[in-house]
Amino acid sequence: MTYIGLLLIGLCVAGIIYLFMDLEEEDDILERRLKSLSQHKELASVEKVNKESYFKKRAGELVAPIVNALTKKRQKVNTVKQLLIQAGRPSTDEDVVKLITQKVLYGIIGFVFALAIYSIGGLDAMMATILFIATPLTLYRLPEMKLKNYIKHKETEISYNLPDALDLLTVCVEAGLGLDAALFRVSQEQMRTCPILATELGRVSKDILAGVPRQEAFRNLANRNNVEDLRSLTSLLIQTDKLGTSIAQSLKVYSDTVRTRRRQKAEALAAKASVKMVIPLVLFILPSMFTVLLTPAFISLMDNFQNMSIGSKSQPKQEQQK
């Protein structure tokens, strides 16, 4: 039974690695669509069939009833779509079904993994119940947790690099470039420092060049990124475009505001650092420091007490000899 459990654990780990390797890489959606349209339909279908493995097909057929039951609720589908949009991934119904299928497969692998651990033995009823409940649920939520983690990282990067991009955008507009050309230039210049923000600005520029209205392109930028500063910027640009006011002056004022806000966030984090250091200081640093400082003194005190005890025992013997 032990060898069977170890074999099941190995299969579960291999399945998890396979599913992680199967995650789709992030790329430019517009370029990918243009590339797919330029190819012949028959070649694209053949390539798609060859790319999908037999395991994915069989797994999709097995979990199809569960996926269909989960995708019946429109609210659930909209929530998953919004996560995919914020993560910069394709958000069609097929992509939603693919993500939910991946979550179900993760849950099944978690159940098999828990069964393998239980087959090894040595678990009581409570631990077995926790194992069979926690492991499938955790692995079921793993793809969504990965998306949310990437969205959080994306928001942090955009919030940190947005003031510098606004300064560069202001300089480009003041130099005589139009807003569309300035966005494209800033996206090229920011590609090394912040590829995430550069990709988003470049996508706005490509959407405008493709014929999307400027206001709608800015709204799509706000919907793809749940960053308050970026949403305020898009509202400012939409309002400036409607009223016809000076874009350079508005960007200059707003860039100063965003930079001040970033400095205030840094000061707040610096103020919290001393409080957060108390726990590791008390648990790890102070005990080791007390050990290093007080151990020699403790050893010398123990030696002195031993010498005193030896001296007190030798005195009565000397008196008896006299």
pLDDT tops 80 at residue 320: no
Mean pLDDT across 47-73: 55
Burial code of 84-104, b = ≥16 C-beta within 10 A, e = fewer? bbbbbbbbeeeebbbbbbbbb
pLDDT tops 50 at residue 223: yes
Q: How buried is residue 165: exposed, middle or buried, by Cβ count under 10 Å (0-12/13-18/19+)?
A: buried
Helix-strand-coil split of the chain, %, nearest 5: 85, 0, 15
Average pLDDT score over the chain: 77
pLDDT at 257: 87
pLDDT at 272: 87
Q: Is 110 left (phi over 0), alpha (psi -120 to 50) or beta?
A: alpha
Of residues 50 and 13, more confidence is placed in: 13
Using only the alpha carbons of the chain, give its radius of gyration.
31
- Confidence bin at 248 (pLDDT 50/70/90): confident
Of residues 71 and 243, more confidence is placed in: 243
pLDDT at 65: 61
Helix crossing, 93-120 with 2-21: angle to 10°?
160
Of residues 162 and 304, more confidence is placed in: 162
- Distance, in Å, from the CA atom of 255 to the CA atom of 172, rounded to the nearest integer, reads 14
The structure's pTM equals 0.66
Residue 183: name the closest of 163, 196, 165 by CA: 165
Find which of 28-32, 35-39, 69-73, 102-106 is predicted with most confidence, using mean pLDDT. Answer: 102-106
pLDDT at 30: 46
pLDDT at 110: 85
- Distance, in Å, from the CA atom of 183 to the CA atom of 189, rounded to the nearest integer, reads 10
pLDDT tops 50 at residue 146: yes
* Residue 49, both tokens: 């069939």
